[in-house]
Structure 1
């Protein structure tokens, strides 16, 4: 299976030496870009610690060439970890965390390092515990569709494995070739299939996690129904590694669709996007698996930065609809009737349908590669929010008006089917002036509309101080109590998710 890298380091002179010895331009250290964050009262890795780690996991302790582990995928956050640990088993993770907890050494769980909110890399010198070698499929029940695997399995590799048994994974992300299922669960990743299969809170049947103390919490059930006591696994789903390190998961995997079709449509306004969505729910119903939208500014990114061509003409807005089911002719007939209706009603101005895998993949690449295309501009200010559909695109328009020529572009795209907007602004390089113009205005706007400041990317490091825009003080206080119960020494992914710890 394929995996990304991960990392760790220390502090003080080590940080300065790490910067000075770099031969090429690096991302600014998170601790410098965000000077208000102070290092906690944690231990510093010394030679004796490295020797202990070598005894625990011989040959799998990394202490050099760690830049890839220290820098997040967006190249917006960079830590200064000095050591990366790569365990292969739950027992090894347990031994590592037990030792780190006793020494009060802070750690960062890291999967494929594809997160977008700075949650998977160190802020200072936390030790990175990588799951990249924990990549075994443990079991598969073909009849029930229940898969049990280690946390380091890459999402695309799981999908390929399941395909041989005519099953599929219930989550699909643009980063599926790199992200790990453990990281997906830890962040409650959403993706384009949520409209069809729901969130991971429903698809995860069980999990295994290791607490900061080294205690293993075995909730690795494969049952669809288990109504005994508190559903503890739900606490770990979306906790972003702050309560425990997920080492294995049990998933409910649906049947793989036998037929898939994609429609790519152009329309004149966002209201028309909503009209198309309303009609698609009514006429496509059970076969609709995804409903995505892009604005014209997104298409410019695809054309100019990614050199992709639109399959239809130029329009203010675009819609991508995917249908999937067990009867191709039936699904295609429903899709054709739907397109005939929305076209004759002048809701849609133009469109095309793809049923061949290569054409379907190409159309999806226009949508899924936008995050990559935005990085060509320099720096990307990326926001992932949930909003009522009545005010969904209003945020993009408000930010475009507010930012003016301070930024290169403002684009909006995302999952209309579940109310998840991806708002992105770019500039040649990071600017604190631009950031101050964006935040907290954007979060205030979302809060005024009764939305959520994070739809699927989590809070990580970047959003933790804005949690009160979406959660009450009493709710956050209870979250902090849970954190202290699970991790009294606060060594698990510090500076993330919750403020003022």
Structure 2
């Protein structure tokens, strides 16, 4: 039987004349080898709700997370302890926004994966850069450690305290300062939620240059501080290129205003780059200037099934050649990922069961032009056997539903048990080998070993689940995963950062000279080491 694009009997929504906003015609395809023009099958209602990672589940209360200091061999550094005088001083700086209620603090002490937990007794909520400056000046004078916190959606324990650090939240620093309609330059405070910013610029004909599964709760300041990659990296590149300027407060309260909106500024050292990806260890980012590209007029998403990883790679090669400038995302996931999202989140697969799945997004300025290129591509990969089944969506809600299958994998994993997460950069042709290797290595000790990620960027998200935290499983994974990655000249952190959990493995990706220079920079900008201690850099003897 010839390969088919839709399963027999599935309802197809076809856009007349391949134009967005055209009247919709209903048609049922019978599974012929002919490729239907851009449409969107949907067998069951599926939506992609806004992701709130600080409490997305309505399940019964989860068991208490073990304190980080009890689970990991980490020693508290000689910082001061918050006193009554400190509380009074902070109350003068941010009146009414000094939080000591243990129930409120609980959510800020635990990471969203529920794998690490601090014991902070104090949460501060400034609204302005000036307030952040006063807070840090006081903490610097008193030798109080500070944990900057945005949306708390990080994967590596970088956004929560390890001990009793003062939590400095940017949640109330959520104002858009300006947007320039001609250049697409957005200036905003660090606490703006990514999805809110996306909505703000889309209303003006632009899009944010990054998109994440946690967009409903992550903050742009945290995105910049961790150099988040995300789903649009293939098209728009990293934040090192799209961030035009930023404002940061140093450990001693000094405000560094590099909030430029210029695309070209070749005067001296580009200091903003120091803070992008520094994870709050060099300064607290308080405002960002970022370049937003024009909003595409036509967006299509193809969700395809592939018989093997070799076909996933060949489909990517064909995709680059035939789609060219309209290709904006190329994501992959394995069959176990699909099982997890259908089992735990009740999402519905729109294609027949396959060993691998690929999500391809195109975005351009002319729907007809893009549709022709996409259909040519689909005909080629179907006829050659690289793809065995697939579906295409142009309707906004159905595009979101297809993306939900990929974006919500991490959420599904968190409901499967304890999760060991690895975010690796590897040569594309070796991207999945480690997943296969670990399934054999771990055997029945692991519930699931899954691989998914941004294949277009060479970024593998390797995840292992077990019923509960197991020293045996961890011992089988580490340092094996890092050694395997280093042998491939890969990176132990592609986009999640190092945080607390990965700080000790930096040496697998960076030479000793680079580590030494990083430690010198930290000592220069934060001589007392109060900013996000125990994170990013390896512990020094």
Q: Is the 8 A contact 2:334 2:450 kept in 1?
A: yes
The answer to whether 1:479 aligns with 2:518 is yes
Aligned equivalents of 1:108, 1:304: Cα separation in 2: 36
TM-score, structure 2 normalization: 0.88
Aligned equivalents of 1:411, 1:371: Cα separation in 2: 11
Aligned equivalents of 1:3, 1:55: Cα separation in 2: 35
**2:78 alignment partner in structure 1:** 41
Deviations 1:6-41 (A, max 9, x none): 9xxxxxxxxxxxxxxxx973100011010x210001
**1:62 alignment partner in structure 2:** 99
**1:124 alignment partner in structure 2:** 163
**1:359 alignment partner in structure 2:** 398
Q: Is the 8 A contact 1:3 1:132 kept in 2?
A: no
**1:173 alignment partner in structure 2:** 212
**2:66 alignment partner in structure 1:** 28
TM-score, structure 1 normalization: 0.95
The answer to whether 1:491 aligns with 2:491 is no
Aligned-partner SS, 2:357: strand
**2:373 alignment partner in structure 1:** 334
Aligned equivalents of 1:428, 1:257: Cα separation in 2: 44
Please state how far the C-alpha of 1:386 moved relative to its aligned partner.
Answer: 0.3
Q: Is the 8 A contact 1:204 1:249 kept in 2?
A: yes
**1:309 alignment partner in structure 2:** 348
| Equivalences for residues 38-437 of structure 1 within 5 A | 38-64=75-101, 65=103, 66-437=105-476
Q: Is the 8 A contact 1:86 1:131 kept in 2?
A: yes
Aligned equivalents of 1:412, 1:435: Cα separation in 2: 17
Report the RMSD for the aligned CA atoms in angstroms. Answer: 1.3
The answer to whether 1:440 aligns with 2:479 is yes
Aligned equivalents of 1:164, 1:466: Cα separation in 2: 43
Please state how far the C-alpha of 1:383 moved relative to its aligned partner.
Answer: 0.8
Aligned-partner SS, 1:123: coil
Please state how far the C-alpha of 1:380 moved relative to its aligned partner.
Answer: 0.7
Aligned equivalents of 1:131, 1:50: Cα separation in 2: 19
Please state how far the C-alpha of 1:163 moved relative to its aligned partner.
Answer: 1.1
Aligned-partner SS, 2:415: helix
Please state how far the C-alpha of 1:5 moved relative to its aligned partner.
Answer: 10
Q: Is the 8 A contact 1:4 1:111 kept in 2?
A: no
Aligned equivalents of 2:75, 2:462: Cα separation in 1: 29
Q: Is the 8 A contact 2:147 2:531 kept in 1?
A: yes
Please state how far the C-alpha of 1:351 moved relative to its aligned partner.
Answer: 1.1
Aligned equivalents of 2:126, 2:468: Cα separation in 1: 37
Please state how far the C-alpha of 1:286 moved relative to its aligned partner.
Answer: 0.3
Aligned equivalents of 1:76, 1:24: Cα separation in 2: 12
Aligned-partner SS, 1:334: helix
- Larger Rg over CA atoms: 2
Aligned-partner SS, 2:244: strand
Please state how far the C-alpha of 1:3 moved relative to its aligned partner.
Answer: 11
Provide runs of 4+ in structure 1 moved above 6 Å. Answer: 2-6
Aligned equivalents of 1:252, 1:478: Cα separation in 2: 30
Q: Is the 8 A contact 1:61 1:84 kept in 2?
A: yes
Q: Is the 8 A contact 1:71 1:121 kept in 2?
A: yes
Aligned equivalents of 1:332, 1:72: Cα separation in 2: 42
Aligned equivalents of 1:355, 1:4: Cα separation in 2: 26
